[in-house]
Amino acid sequence: MQIITGSIRVMDNPDLITINFTDLIGVGGSLTFYDNRLLTHISANSVQRIDGRLYVVANHALPSFHLPVLQYVGGALTIGTHQLLVNISACKLVGVGDRPWITSTVLLVIDFPILSEIGGDFDVTGNAMLIDTSASSLIKSGGVSISQTTLPWLVFACLH
């Protein structure tokens, strides 16, 4: 298993289709996936911690984004402006040090079932097709902003 002490940036790769970080468990800086137009798959299934920000933006062919063992993001969590992204999940995510901002016009599901602490506002904006969001363990947040969605229901714990 490997920990990168700096940042990882995968940016502006017009022919990149798949990213596979099989042994990566931690990033000391930020993890960025930006403007990889043909990217359809990101495998980062062993990443447990990102000390900086997580930035996943403008990867227009990406249909889903899953970080099954990610527990903590030290900076902001930004996921946005994708044309095909319908599902985001981080089932073990407990904390985000700064503002999570999530926007994707075709996004259907956001699944952060044990996310309990956010250092800034939880901002879910411009997800007109969103039908399910789970952040039912959230107990500390700067605020929650959910707009431009068609959600039939929300599940949030009582915020303290």
pLDDT in tens, 97-109: 998 888 877 888 8
Q: Residue 104: which of 120, 128, 122 has the closest Cα?
A: 128
Q: How far is CA 86 from CA 39, 61, 114, 130, 159, in A?
A: 14, 11, 20, 8, 27
pLDDT in tens, 127-154: 767 766 666 666 666 666 666 555 554 5
Q: Using CA atoms, how far apart are residues 140 and 131, in angstroms rounded to an integer?
A: 24
Longest CA–CA separation in the chain, Å: 46
Residue 160 predicted with pLDDT over 50: no
